[in-house]
Amino acid sequence: MSKRQHISAVVNGDPVEFLSAPGTTLLDALRDELGLTGSKEGCGSGDCGACSVILDGRLVCSCLVLAVEAEGRRVETIEGLADGGTLHPLQQKFLEHAALQCGFCTPGILVAAKALLDANPDPTESEARYWLAGNLCRCTGYDKIIRAVMDAAAELRQVRV
C-alpha cells in the first residue's frame, strides 16, 4: 500500500496537519483525520453536493478532491460558517424558514449558499436555483431553502449598507 503523506493546510482559518494516503479524498480526511463530520458523503461521485467545501475560495465537492491536493491550501467547511457562537445569517434564516427537514444535505447547501452570496450578493431566484442545482435535497422540495437563501442575501445586503 502507498505510504501516507504529510499534509499541511489551513482549515476554517486554523493550521492543521495530518497524514493521508494518496488516494484518500479530502472528504474522508476531513471526517476521519480531522473529526470534521459536518461534511457528509451522499454519493462519493460529485452528484449530491453534501460534501461541499470551499477550497481556496472555490466551491468544490470534497469527495472529488484528493486530500494530498490540499497541501498548502485553505479549506472552509460547515464547521467554520458560524462566527464562534453566533450563527451566520444563512444558518439563522434556514432555522427561521424551516429550510431543513432531515438536515443531512443542510451543511453542504449552507456552504454552497455562502459561496453564492460571496460571488453574487443579489441573486435572482433562478440564479440561486441553478447555483444550488448540485446540492440535492430530497425532503423539502427546495421551496423553503430558496426562500431562506434569498432572505439571508437581503439581510446581508442590509448589513453591507
Partner 1 sequence: MSDVLERPESAIRVAAPLDDGHLKVVGTRPIRPDGAEKVTGKALYGADLAMPGMLVGKIKRSPHAHARIVSIDTRKARALAGVKAIVTAADFPDLASEEYEAGESASNLRDLSLNVMARHKALYDGHAVAAVAATSSDIADEALALIVVEYEALPHVIDVEAAMADGAPVLHAHLFTEGLAARPDKPSNIAKRNELTRGDLAAGFAGAEVIIEGRYTTAAVHQGYIEPHACVANFGADGQCQVWSSSQGQFMIRTYCAKVLDLEASDIRVTPAEIGGGFGGKTTVYLEPVALALSRQCGAPVKMVMTRDEVFRATGPTSGAVIEVKLGAMADGTIVAADVVLKYQAGAFPGSPVGAGSMTALACYDVPNFSIVGYDVVTNTPKVAAYRAPGAPISAFGVESAVDDLALKLGMDPIALREKNAVRDGTKASYGPTFRNIGYVETLQAIREHPHYSAPLGPNQGRGLAVGFWFNVGGESTAAVNIGEDGSAVVISGNPDIGGSRASMAMMAAEVLGLPVEKVRPIVADTASIGFSMLTGGSRTTFATGMAVTQAAQKIVEDLKRRAALLMDVSVDQVDYVNGVAVCLDASKGKADLTIAELAAKAAQTGGPIGAQVSLNAQGAGPGFGVHLCDVEVDPETGHVTVLRYTAAQDVGKAIHPAYVEGQIQGGVAQGVGWALNEEYVFDRTGHMENAGFLDYRVPVASDLPMIDAIMVEVANPRHPFGAKGVGEVPIVPPLAAVANAVRGAIGKRMTDLPLSPPKIRAAVDAG
Partner 2 sequence: MSQVDFIAPDSAEKASQALLATGARPLSGGTDLLVQLRAGRLPPGMIVDLKRIPGAIGIRQEGGGFIIGAATPGVALSEHRVLSLAWPGVVEAVNLIGSTQIQGRASMAGNLCNASPAADSVPALVAARATCLIVGAGGRRMAPVESIAVGPGRTSLALGEFVLEIHLPARPARSGDAYLRFIPRTEMDIAVVGAAVNLTLDDAGVVSDAYVALGAVAPTVLLVPEAAAALIGSRLDEAALDRLDAAARAACHPISDKRGTIEFRTKIAGVLARRAAVIAHGRAENRT
Residues that bind partner 2 (CB under 8 A): 1-2, 5, 21-25, 44-47, 49, 52, 55, 58-61, 63-66, 68-69, 71, 112, 115-116, 130-135
10 Å Cβ neighbour count for 124? 10
**Contacted entry of partner 1, partner 2, none for residue 150, CB cut-off 5 to 8 Å set by kind:** partner 1
What distance in Å separates the CA atoms of residue 125 and residue 28, rounded to the nearest whole number?
A: 33
* Contact yes or no for 34/9 (Cβ under 8 A): no
What distance in Å separates the CA atoms of residue 61 and residue 51, rounded to the nearest whole number?
A: 6
The reply on whether position 104 binds partner 1 by CB under 8 A is yes
# residues near partner 1 by CB under 8 A? 61
10 Å Cβ neighbour count for 72? 10
Tell which positions 58-97 bind partner 1, by CB under 8 A.
77-79, 81-82, 87, 91, 94-97
Q: Kindly indicate which of the ranges 3-11, 54-62, 67-75, 118-126 contains the residues binding partner 1, using the contact rule CB under 8 A.
A: 118-126
3-state helix, strand, coil in the chain (%, to 5): 40, 20, 40
What distance in Å separates the CA atoms of residue 148 and residue 112, rounded to the nearest whole number?
A: 13
Per CB under 8 A, residues contacting partner 1 are: 1, 21, 31-32, 36-45, 47-48, 50, 77-79, 81-82, 87, 91, 94-98, 100-107, 110, 124-126, 128-130, 132-147, 150
